[in-house]
Structure 1
Amino acid sequence: MRTDAWFAGLAVIVLAVLLATALVAATGASDGTESASEWTPDVPDIHDVDEPTEPSVATLDGDQFNSVQAALDAAQPGDTVVLEGTFEEHVTVETEGVTIAAAERDGAVIDGGGEGTIVTIEAPNVTLEGVWIRDTGHERRGEHAGVFVNGTGATVTDVRLTDVSFGVWINGVSDVTVEGSMIAGREDVFPFTDRGNGIHLWDADDAVLRDNYITTVRDGIYYSWAEGVLTENNTMWEMRYGVHYMYSNDNRLEGNVAANNDVGFALMVSENITLVDNVAANNDGTSAHGILLKDVERSEIRGNAVVANGNGFYIYNAQQNRLVDNLVLENRVGVHATAGSSGGVVAGNSFIENDEQAFATTTAQIAWNDSDRGNYWSDASAVDLDGDGTSEIRHRPAGTVEQLVHDRPQAAVFAESPAFDAVRLAESSFPVVESAGLIDHHPLTEPPHDNWRDYYANHDH
C-alpha cells in the first residue's frame, strides 16, 4: 500500500513537471528586440573642459607668486594656496596641513609637460582640491603619477587628471581620501598593460575612495596589500580591470559600476571582502568576466547586478563565500565555478536569460541553496504546490546535459531534444538519479529582483 502511494505521488510530481515545461518563464522574457548589452552607465566626458583663461597666479595670505612651488615653500602648516591659470611645473608638498585649491573647479592647471610625476605629497594631512592636473611622464616602466601620495591623511577632492600614466598613487600611507575626482589615462597607449592605474594603492590602509570617474587606464582601482579600504560609488569604464585586488583583506566595495571593460571586478588572493550593490555590465573583452573571484575566501558577494558579460561570475578555487541576492542577467555563462570552489552559500540570486545559466567543473554534486530558499532560474520548470514561493521540484542548472554540451559544443544542437529533456527530467525529479554538477533543492518561483528589466534601457545610477 505504501509502495502504491509512493508511485502515485511520483506520478503527480512527474505530471506537474511536464505541465510546467509548457509554461512561459515567469520573467516575461525579452522579446528579442532589445538586449542588456545596449546598457551603458551615465558617465562624463572627462576631456570636455575649458582651458583656464585667468593669468597664472598662486595666492597665499594675499601674497601672489608666479609658481605653485614658490607659494608652497612660503606656506606654514594649515595655510591655503589658491591657484588660478596654468602652471607648467612639478610640485612637492612638504608642509603639514597645507591646502592647494583652485579658485574654482578646473580653474587652475598644473601641467607636467609629459615628464615625471606632477604633484608629490610628502607631508601629512595635505588637501588638494579642484585642480586640473595633466600630462605626466609616460615611459613604459615608469611610475609617473598625477598625484603621488607619501603623506598620511591626504585628501584629493574634485581633481581632474588627464593624460596621466597613474592617476593617484597612494604609497604605503594610511587614511587617504580620493573623492569626486575624474581620471583619464592615455587613449593612444596600447596594450592596456602599458598604461598605469587610475587609483593605485600599495600597502595603504583605511583609505576612502568615493564618487570618482575613471577611464582609459590599465586598471581603475588597484589594491596591493591594502586593508580597511572603503570604495563606494565609483564608475570605471573602457580599461582592463575596473577593480583589481591582490593580497588585500577586510575591504568593502559598495555601489560601484564597472562597465565595458575586459573584466569588471577582479578579486584575487584576498579574504573578508564585502562586495555589495555593485554593477558589472558588458565586460566582454579577452577574459570577459563580470566578477572574478580567484582564491577569495570568507567574503560576502551580495546584491550585485551582473549583466551582459561573458561570464557573469567566474569562480576559481574560492572557498567559504556567500554569493547571495545577486542579479545575473543575460551573460553568456551566468556562473562558471571551477578548481574546487566550495563551502559557501549560493541563494536568493536571479539567473535570468543567460545563454548558459551555470557551469561547474566538478566530480561531486554541489547544492546551490540555503536551508529554506534557493535561486530563481528563468529556464526552470517550477511547481509550487503549497504557495510558499519555492518549487517542490529541484532544479539542475548544471547537470549531465550541460556538462556534455560544455565539453562537446557540437552536442548543443540536441540540447532541446526530447532525449535530453528526459535526462533533465530524471535528474530533477528522481532522487535516485544523481550525477555530478550543480543542484538547487529549493528553486524560487519568482525572481527576487523586480528591477531586472531596467537593464534593457539606459538609466541613472
Structure 2
Amino acid sequence: MSKRHMKCLAGITVTTATALGLAAAPTAASGQRDLVVHPGESIQSAVDAAQPGDTVMVLAGTYRESVLITKPGLTLRGAGERTVITPAAAQAPKATKATKGAEEAKAAHACATGGNGVCVIGTKGNTVDDVRIRSLTVSGFDKSGIWASWTDGLSVRRVTAGENGTWGIAQERSTRGDFRNNTATGNGDAGIFVANSVSEEGGATDTGGTLVVDNSVSGNRIGVTARRVRNLVIDGNTLTGNCSGVFVVGDESKPAAGAMTISGNRIVENNKFCPATPRLTAIQGSGIVLTGSEATVVRSNVIRDNVGSTPLSGGILLFKSFVGALNTDNTISRNLVQGNKPADLADRDTSGTGNTFVSNTCGTSVPAGMCAG
C-alpha cells in the first residue's frame, strides 16, 4: 500500500472514529481496521460502523446491551473474562435518529428483544459468514448468551457464557461452526446447543462439520445438545455437574440425526436433577444419550459416576426417541465407562438395529454382556 493511500485511509478512519467517539486505526497492509470500544461506549455503534474484515475490540468493563452482527467477516474481541456483556437496564425505548431507517432500527433491537446477548443473524438466502467472537463474557440474558441463525463459519473461542435463561452458546440453521475453549455454566437448558431449527420440525441439517471442541461445560440442564443435526464433532470437552452430559436428539423426519463423532470427552458426575418438561422426561445422571440417531460414533470417552434413577440415567444410553425414531447403525467403542448407575452401558432401544458395543471398559450393562472388562 502506498504512503498516500495509507494517509487517505487513516483520515477516513479518524473521521469515522470521531463521529462515534471510538478509537480506530487501520491494520498493517490489509486496510482492515480495529475499532476500540471503551467502557461507557456502545459496542453496537462500533459494529454498525465496521466493515467486513474489521475487528471490534472491546476493552475490559461491563457493557449493558445486546449486540447484533449481520455483516460477514467481523471479529468481536474482548479482553478476556473482564469484558462482560450483560442485559441493559429496563427503560423506555428512545426515538430513532433520523439518520437510521426504520428497517435498520428494527434490526438493531432484534437481538435484545429476543432476550439474547450477542447475535449473529443472516437469512436463508444470505447467510452471515466467517464471524469470529473471542475472549469475553456474556451472562444474565433471558434466552441465550450467544445466538446464531443462518451463519456459515461462525467461530466462538474463549467465551464464558453463564447464567443465561436457555442456552449459553447456540446455533441453528447454520454450517461449519467452530466452538472451542469456551466455558458454559449455569444456563437454563444446554451450555452449547446445535440444532436444525428451534421454530419448526423437519429433517436433520448437515452442519458441514461443525466442531464443539475443548470446552468446559458445567451446571447446565444439558452440557451439549445436538438436535436434529448431522455431520459434526463433539471432542475433548469436559462436562460435569449437568443433568446430562451429551444429548443427541433425533426424530422420524429424513434425513435422520446422526453421522457425528463424540470422542475424547471427559463426562463425570452429571448428577444434577432436572424435572420433566413437555418434551422430555426428567433427567439426572446421564452421560451420553442417543435418541433417534444413526451412524454416530461414540469412542474413547471417559464417563464416570453419572448416577440417577430416571429413564435416561446411565453412562452411555441408547433410547428410542420420544416421537418414535429408532437408533440405527451407531458404534460405541473403546470407552472407559465406570461407576454409572443404573448401568454403565444401556441399550434401551430394543427395536433399533445395527447398533454395536465394542471394546468398552465397564462394570455393568443392560442387557448384560456388553462390557469388555
TM-score by length of 1: 0.57
Change (3 A) 1:324 1:161: same
Q: How does 1:185-334 map to 2 (within 5 A)?
A: 185-186=163-164, 195-217=165-187, 218-225=189-196, 227=207, 228-269=209-250, 270-284=257-271, 285-286=273-274, 287-288=283-284, 289-310=286-307, 311-316=314-319, 317-332=326-341, 333-334=343-344
Alignment pair present for 1:341 and 2:322:
no
Structure that is richer in strand per residue: 2
Which residue in the other structure is 1:191 paired with? none
CA distances 1:261-308 after superposition (whole Å, capped 9, x unpaired): 111101111110100101211112241211110001101100011111
Change (3 A) 1:330 1:138: farther
Change (3 A) 1:149 1:137: same
Alignment pair present for 1:161 and 2:138:
yes
Check conservation: 1:128, 1:156, Cα contact below 8 A.
yes
Check conservation: 1:86, 1:111, Cα contact below 8 A.
no
1:87 shift after superposition: 3.3
1:138 shift after superposition: 10
Which residue in the other structure is 1:143 paired with? 114
1:349 shift after superposition: 0.7
Structure 2 CA distance, aligned partners of 1:241 and 1:138?
29
Unaligned runs of 5+ in 1: 1-59, 113-117, 187-194, 361-396, 398-438, 448-461
Identity of matched residues, %: 18
1:319 shift after superposition: 1.2
Which residue in the other structure is 1:122 paired with? 70
The aligned amino acid for 1:122 is: T
Change (3 A) 1:83 1:248: same
Unaligned runs of 5+ in 2: 1-11, 91-111, 122-127, 197-204, 251-256, 275-282, 308-313, 320-325
1:143 shift after superposition: 2.5
Q: How does 1:394-413 map to 2 (within 5 A)?
A: 397=368
Change (3 A) 1:345 1:89: closer
TM-score by length of 2: 0.69
Structure 1 CA distance, aligned partners of 2:43 and 2:36?
16
Check conservation: 1:222, 1:244, Cα contact below 8 A.
yes
Check conservation: 1:134, 1:164, Cα contact below 8 A.
no
| Higher Rg | 1
Structure 2 CA distance, aligned partners of 1:171 and 1:262?
26
Check conservation: 2:43, 2:67, Cα contact below 8 A.
no
Check conservation: 2:22, 2:37, Cα contact below 8 A.
no
Instruction: For residue 72 of structure 2, give the secondary structure of its aligned residue in structure 1.
Output: coil
Return the structure number with greater relative CO, CA threshold 8 A, min gap 6: 1
Instruction: For residue 166 of structure 2, give the secondary structure of its aligned residue in structure 1.
Output: coil
1:134 shift after superposition: 2.3
Change (3 A) 1:124 1:234: same
Change (3 A) 1:70 1:148: farther
